[in-house]
């Protein structure tokens, strides 16, 4: 089998940790396992945190990671990438539609290499600057998108959003790494993801407080993930004010082994996120039998409808959300948990990695 040299390009990467960073790392690992060479190109600063300028090069679990400086800010930036660096690779694969997406599209005309992109929801994670984002998408993203050999849409919602951006728009849903091979039936609840404003964790905590006080649910709420633009202290203070400080556990980042330990005591996944590019954390939880109760954003609605397990509830109305969750919990049985697991396991990394390589090969020179 001919080895393909692949460069994955992503705005943030380790030590930043989140759904997108995990996706890129998993994609690279699985492509390496298929016999190909992979590296990552990213920016030299983490936008949230105080890590300063990161090294120009390091190896992250056998993946070479190159970092470049940039002009601008986190929403609109120009990465300082040279064509000579990109020419080392047979294939360039950009993740998300940001400054890297525009830059690589422009340089593609110079380097003569096939370039691909995965949507990951684009830059519509929040409604902040929505008018500007829509103008940018229509005037800039749509034009640069035509420079790509193919664009992979991670969801039907993304596919609909990106229609017309590229003539070769392919629906390739995300894949997940199951946290274990068990079906959890515990009493605890879990949220997985960054502590970010658009995740609306305060509403989640308020809803959980009502579940405890009015529906007498047992168990704790485990909040797992790194601080982003929302602080743990603020959220912990809210839990204290609501009288559930001892029932809400903030874990920060945890190892895969620790995650398995926590999930084995859980039975329910909660997310009040106003926007999701795909919903990987929900699927990871479902892969061990957790029933999801999630905010009805486009991605969650799509997954809940397809899975037929769990429900969308409106966390912006905590009283009603708590009632809906309590009612939904009573209807979940062992068969539902098996159904959730089987649905989630259909999002296979092996298949996604193989399909992506096959698409590359149609264009690699």
Q: What is the pLDDT of residues 151-162, one digit of tens each?
A: 999 988 899 999
Residue with tokens 């098996």: 338
Do 271 and 164 lie in one domain? The reply is no
The residues, any chain, with a CB within 8 Å of residue 216's CB and separated by 6 or more, are: none
What integer pLDDT is reported at residue 157 of this predicted model? 86
pLDDT over 90 for what percent of the chain?
A: 80
Q: Taking a C-beta distance cutoff of 8 angstroms, is the pair 205, 235 a contact?
A: yes
Do 137 and 153 lie in one domain? The reply is yes
What integer pLDDT is reported at residue 125 of this predicted model? 53
Q: Is residue 158 part of a domain?
A: yes
Does pLDDT of 139 surpass 90? no
Residue with tokens 């091979």: 181
Does pLDDT of 121 surpass 90? no
For range 182-196, the mean pLDDT: 96
Q: Distance between CA 225 and CA 156 in Å, rounded?
A: 27
The residues, any chain, with a CB within 8 Å of residue 246's CB and separated by 6 or more, are: none
Do 340 and 352 lie in one domain? The reply is no
Does pLDDT of 18 surpass 90? no
> For 48, phi and psi rounded to 5 degrees?
-120, 120
Do 19 and 161 lie in one domain? The reply is yes
Q: Is residue 183 part of a domain?
A: no
Domains in the chain: how many in total? 2
Q: Is residue 182 part of a domain?
A: no
Residue that wins the pLDDT comparison between 354 and 134: 354
Do 268 and 288 lie in one domain? The reply is yes
Range of the domain at 253: 188-345
Do 352 and 252 lie in one domain? The reply is no
Query: For the segment 43-75, what is each residue's pLDDT rounded down to a tens digit?
Result: 999 987 777 899 999 999 999 999 999 998 877
Q: In the chain, which ranges are continuous DSSP H helix?
A: 19-33, 83-86, 99-111, 130-136, 142-145, 156-161, 201-214, 232-241, 256-263, 280-286, 298-307, 318-331, 334-345, 349-361
Mean pLDDT of the chain, nearest integer? 93
Q: Distance between CA 10 and CA 203 in Å, rounded?
A: 30
What integer pLDDT is reported at residue 365 of this predicted model? 55
Global pTM?
0.83
The most confident of the ranges 45-49, 93-97, 224-228 is 93-97
Do 162 and 261 lie in one domain? The reply is no
Do 240 and 262 lie in one domain? The reply is yes
What integer pLDDT is reported at residue 176 of this predicted model? 92
Q: Is residue 290 part of a domain?
A: yes
What integer pLDDT is reported at residue 19 of this predicted model? 82
Q: Is residue 180 part of a domain?
A: no
3-state secondary structure of 44: coil
Q: For position 275, which CATH number holds?
A: 3.40.50.2000
Do 38 and 117 lie in one domain? The reply is yes
Cα 274 to chain center, whole Å? 13
Taking CA 283 as the corner, what is the angle to CA 278 and CA 287, rounded to the nearest 5 degrees? 160
Do 51 and 119 lie in one domain? The reply is yes
3-state secondary structure of 167: coil
Q: Is residue 210 part of a domain?
A: yes
Do 165 and 272 lie in one domain? The reply is no
Do 211 and 341 lie in one domain? The reply is yes
Does pLDDT of 124 surpass 70? no
What integer pLDDT is reported at residue 275 of this predicted model? 86
């Amino acid at each position: 089998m001919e080895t393909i040299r692949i460069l994955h390009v992503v705005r943030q990467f380790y030590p930043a940790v989140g759904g997108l960073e995990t996706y890129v790392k998993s994609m690279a690992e699985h492509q390496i396992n298929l016999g190909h060479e992979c590296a990552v190109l990213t920016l030299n600063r983490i936008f949230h945190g105080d890590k300063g300028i990161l090294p120009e090069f390091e190896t992250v679990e056998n993946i070479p990671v190159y970092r470049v400086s940039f002009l601008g800010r986190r929403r609109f930036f120009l990465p300082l990438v040279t064509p000579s660096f990109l020419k080392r690779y047979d294939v360039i694969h950009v993740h998300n539609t940001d400054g890297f997406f525009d830059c690589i599209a422009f340089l593609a005309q110079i380097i003569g290499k096939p370039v691909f992109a995965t949507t990951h929801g684009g830059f519509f994670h929040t409604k902040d600057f929505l008018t500007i984002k829509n103008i940018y998408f229509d005037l800039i993203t749509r034009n640069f998108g035509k420079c790509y050999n193919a664009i992979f849409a991670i969801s039907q919602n993304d596919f609909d959003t990106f229609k017309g951006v590229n003539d070769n728009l392919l629906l390739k849903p995300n894949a997940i790494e199951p946290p274990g091979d068990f079906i959890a039936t515990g009493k605890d609840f879990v949220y997985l993801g960054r502590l970010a404003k658009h995740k609306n964790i305060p509403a989640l905590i308020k809803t959980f407080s009502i579940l405890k006080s009015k529906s007498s649910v047992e168990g704790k709420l485990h909040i797992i993930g790194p601080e982003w633009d929302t602080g743990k202290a603020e959220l912990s203070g809210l839990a204290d004010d609501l009288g559930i400080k001892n029932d809400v556990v903030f874990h920060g980042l945890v190892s895969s082994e620790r995650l398995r330990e926590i999930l084995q005591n859980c039975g329910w996944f909660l997310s009040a996120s106003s926007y999701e590019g795909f919903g990987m954390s929900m699927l990871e939880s479902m892969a061990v039998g957790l029933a999801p109760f999630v905010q009805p954003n486009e991605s969650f609605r799509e997954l809940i409808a397809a899975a037929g397990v769990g429900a969308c509830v409106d966390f912006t109305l905590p009283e009603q959300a708590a009632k809906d969750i309590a009612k939904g919990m009573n209807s979940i049985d062992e068969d539902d948990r098996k159904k959730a697991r089987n649905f989630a396991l259909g999002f296979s990394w092996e298949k996604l990695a193989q399909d992506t390589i096959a698409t590359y090969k149609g264009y690699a020179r």
